[in-house]
Amino acid sequence: MTPIKIVHAADLHLDSPLSGLERYEGAPVHRIRGATRAALVNLVDLALDEAASLVLLAGDLFDDDWKDYSTALYFRAQMRRLADAQVNVVWLRGNHDAASQLQKHLDLPETVFELPYKQADSKIFEQLGVVVHGQGFATRSVVDNLALSYPEPLSGMLNIGLLHTSVTGREGHAPYAPCVLSDLVNKGYDYWALGHVHQREVLCEDPWVVFPGNMQGRHVREPGDKGATLIEVVDGRITSVEHRALDVVRFGICRVDASAARSMDQVLGSVRDALRAEVSAAEGRLVASRIVIEGATESHGELARDPERFVAEIRASASEIGGDDLWIEKICLLTRDVIDLGHVRLRDDAIGQVFRGLSSLRESDAGRVELAAELATLGSKLPPPLRSGPLALGWEASAGLDALLDDVEQLLLSRLAHAGEP
The 3-class secondary structure across the chain, one letter per residue, is CCCEEEEEECCCCECCCCCCHHHCCCCCHHHHHCHHHHHHHHHHHHHHHCCCCEEEECCCCECCCCCCCHHHHHHHHHHHHHHHCCCEEEECCCCCCCCCCCCCCCCCCCCEEECCCCCCEEEEECCCCEEEEECCCCCCCCCCCHHHHCCCCCCCCEEEEEEECCCCCECCECCCCCCCHHHHHCCCCCEEEEECCCCCEEEEECCEEEECCCCCCCCCCCCCCCEEEEEEEECCEEEEEEEEECCCEEEEEEEEECCCCCCHHHHHHHHHHHHHHHHHHHCCCEEEEEEEEEEECCCHHHHHHCHHHHHHHHHHHHHHHHHHHEEEEEEEEEEECCCCHHHHHCCCCHHHHHHHHHHHHHHCHHHHHHHHHHHHHHHCCCCHHHHCCCCCCCCCCHHHHHHHHHHHHHHHHHHHHHCCCC
Q: Tell me the per-residue pLDDT of 63-85, one tens digit each, with 9 for 90 and over.
A: 866 666 788 889 999 999 999 99
Are 155 and 297 part of one and the same domain? Answer: no
pLDDT at residue 395 above 80? no
> Backbone dihedral region of 417: left (phi > 0), alpha (psi from -120 to 50 degrees) or beta?
alpha
Are 291 and 185 part of one and the same domain? Answer: no
Are 348 and 271 part of one and the same domain? Answer: no
Mean pLDDT score of the chain: 87
Are 268 and 411 part of one and the same domain? Answer: no
Where is the domain boundary, 319, 338, 357? 338
* Confidence band of 344 (pLDDT split at 50, 70, 90): confident
* Confidence band of 341 (pLDDT split at 50, 70, 90): low
State residue 390's pLDDT score: 45
- 242 contacts: CB under 8 Å, gap ≥ 6: 229, 230, 232
pLDDT at residue 391 above 50? no
Least confident of 242-246, 274-278, 351-355: 351-355
Are 288 and 349 part of one and the same domain? Answer: no
Where is the domain boundary, 317, 338, 359? 338
Are 417 and 379 part of one and the same domain? Answer: yes
Distance CA 52, CA 111 (A): 13
Class of residue 247 by CB neighbours under 10 A (exposed 0-12, middle 13-18, buried 19+): buried
State residue 325's pLDDT score: 95
Are 258 and 240 part of one and the same domain? Answer: no
State residue 169's pLDDT score: 64
Are 178 and 225 part of one and the same domain? Answer: yes
Q: Are strands 4-9 and 54-57 parallel, antiparallel or unpaired?
A: parallel
pLDDT at residue 285 above 90? yes
Distance CA 33, CA 121 (A): 35
Q: What is the mean pLDDT of residues 195-213?
A: 96
Q: Tell me the per-residue pLDDT of 146-185, one tens digit each, with 9 for 90 and over.
A: 999 999 999 999 999 999 998 886 666 667 888 999 999 9
* Confidence band of 398 (pLDDT split at 50, 70, 90): low
pLDDT at residue 385 above 50? yes
Are 402 and 350 part of one and the same domain? Answer: yes
pLDDT at residue 256 above 60? yes
Q: Tell me the per-residue pLDDT of 102-142, one tens digit each, with 9 for 90 and over.
A: 556 678 999 999 999 999 999 999 999 999 999 998 887 78
CB 36 within 8 A of CB 266: no
Q: Tell me the per-residue pLDDT of 217-239, one tens digit each, with 9 for 90 and over.
A: 988 889 999 999 999 999 999 99
pLDDT at residue 199 above 70? yes
Percent of the chain residues past pLDDT 90, beyond the cut: 59
Q: Tell me the per-residue pLDDT of 366-376, one tens digit each, with 9 for 90 and over.
A: 877 887 788 77
Are 157 and 65 part of one and the same domain? Answer: yes
Are 178 and 71 part of one and the same domain? Answer: yes
Least Cα distance to 294 among 180, 410, 212 occurs for: 410
State residue 123's pLDDT score: 97
What's the number of domains the chain is made of?
3
Q: Tell me the per-residue pLDDT of 408-417, one tens digit each, with 9 for 90 and over.
A: 776 776 666 5
| Cα angle, residue 180 at apex, residues 177 and 184 outer, rounded to 5° | 90
Q: Name which residue leads in pLDDT, 27 or 13.
A: 13
CB 132 within 8 A of CB 115: yes
Q: Identify the CATH number of the domain in which residue 13 sits.
A: 3.60.21.10
State residue 399's pLDDT score: 60
Where is the domain boundary, 245, 260, 285? 245
Are 191 and 53 part of one and the same domain? Answer: yes
Which range of residues forms the domain containing residue 375? 341-422
State residue 40's pLDDT score: 97
